[in-house]
Amino acid sequence: MPVRVGQGFDVHPFSDDPTRPLVLGGVIFDGERGLTGHSDADVIVHAVTDALLGAAGLGDIGQHFPDTDPVLAGADSIDLLRRAVADVRSAGWSPENVDCTVVLEAPKLAPRRDEVQRRLTDAVGAPVTVKGKRAEGLGALGRREGIACLAVALVSRQEGGA
């Protein structure tokens, strides 16, 4: 069975807008400072989307969902991920799993990890695991200026795939 691996990365700074929600892995973290971005700035979903598109040889999130498209302003990234997964499947590939590492000082991811993983797994149609790591005070992430995520996706060729 032919398989391919894709890697994704995303980073967003925190927003100064006190009304902007923090969305991570399709889950709203109430009471936390949101991230700046054209869509909902969900760094986890953006990295997962990039990893899956890359694994299928379909380019990157910016090619499919450009931040210059006014229609995508404030878009729900889970919806964009579902569209990307449909494109991956249409290209003859099936997601097998995705693993993510989120680099952040706050908020704590562990209390909501299961909820985030369920939301992502549902959107991808394959297991998605999420780990939180601290930057230990180093650099912009360590100074709590933003959040980053790295993702790796495995896809396999579907029976009768292109």
Query: Does the model's pTM come out above 0.85?
Result: yes
> Residues 6 or more apart from 142 whose CB is under 8 A from it?
105, 134, 135, 136
Could you tell me the two tokens for 133?
A: 């790591």
Tens of pLDDT along 61-109? 999 999 999 999 999 999 999 999 999 999 999 999 999 999 999 999 9
Q: Residue 156 — φ and ψ, nearest 5°?
A: -125, 155
Domain 3-157 has CATH 3.40.630.30: no
d(CA 61, CA 161): 22
- pLDDT score, position 160: 65
